[in-house]
Amino acid sequence: MHLNENQIMIRQMARDFARAKVAPVAAEIDRTGAFPEATVREMGELGFLGLAVPEAYGGVGADMTSYALVVEEVSRVCGSHGLTVAAHNSLGCWPIATLGTEAQKRRFLPPAAAGKSLLSFGLTEANAGSDAGGTRTTAVRDGQHWVLNGTKMWITNSHYAAALIITAKTDPAAQGSRGISAFIVPTDTPGFTVEKKEDKLGMRGSDTAPLTLQDVRVPADLLLGKEGEGFKYFMMTLDGGRISIAALALGLAEGAYRTAKAYAKERHQFGRPIASFQAVEFMLADMATQIQAARLLTYEACRLKDTDQPYAQMAAMAKLHASETAMFVTDRAIQILGGYGYTREYPVERFYRDAKLCTIGEGTSEIQRMVIGRHELSE
């Protein structure tokens, strides 16, 4: 993978920050479930929270490759930090930067890019997960406002977001994915409630919670894009978001692999390092091969997006392979470390728990296979 000078600089900056500031707190936020406000604020100061924001609105205006490099490097030491960056940029900033009016961009993007506030995306509901067209949250026009009612779940960054993009049905008579619109909803709007944070298997430092909207009045000028186009918009959003999840999974896999390789060189059994035994050597070989394949898929998806070529299928391939690679590599890493891998003395058990989300969030592995298959069959 060829990187230009700017991409190499961004990668090194992210790597240095992750090692110096994120690694020391990663285990503690996993243990307590606390959101890492201090390091997230520092990531904003470095520009990591403005990667998807154009320079005109205070952001970095980075290409997709640079953005993925940051997510990968941060996730090598902590999946929770990587997910916070990914969700904020891909699901919060990108839709407003791409679809928003000038007034919407000027209002929401500068503080988001500076890390003064986070943005988020409210799509998933109890009956609208993989079937995103099953949205039941409603938006009814009332003069110069829309009135929203409904619930959302599994919403990342929700307690710390200044605004969320919420999908809602604006045409109740429309069937399936039709008649859905997107709205920018400030979180201080009366009737908008962020519920209790979820107690999760992994990504425990990432903020995840359900939302309740009860007669939430949103000004008509906060409709995002065109009325009735919401399904198309969130499909576009998820296409790009899948690349960031692939980068996150790639980082987790790389972190686990490097830990396992170092341990295998140091751990002696039967008078020699366990890395010298073929069983361990073959595990490391399989891990390295799968990681490299995931990296090539992920950065090919970045290249396609950066050059304005169709990338949805490649993004699905990258997300599918990288997420399942992360599960495979973290499992093998625990096996190489043996009993130590099963304890919190080493980070591989945390990587293993964090990696599972990558096979679920922003489209399950099964959905990715459907996306890939449909592209193949439509050619």
d(CA 126, CA 238): 19
Radius of gyration over every alpha carbon of the chain, rounded to an integer in angstroms: 21
Give the residue numbers annotated as catalytic, written as ranges.
362
Q: Are 328 and 292 in contact (CB under 8 A)?
A: no
Q: Which of 162, 230, 234, 223 is nearest to 194 (CA)?
A: 162
DSSP string, 289-328: HHHHHHHHHHHHHHHHHHTT---HHHHHHHHHHHHHHHHH
Q: Are 176 and 233 in contact (CB under 8 A)?
A: no
Q: Where are the alpha helices (DSSP H) in the chain?
A: 5-17, 23-32, 37-46, 64-75, 79-86, 94-99, 102-113, 230-266, 278-306, 312-337, 348-358, 365-378
Q: Are 90 and 241 in contact (CB under 8 A)?
A: yes
CA distances from 192 to 158, 183, 209, 212 (A): 11, 13, 13, 6
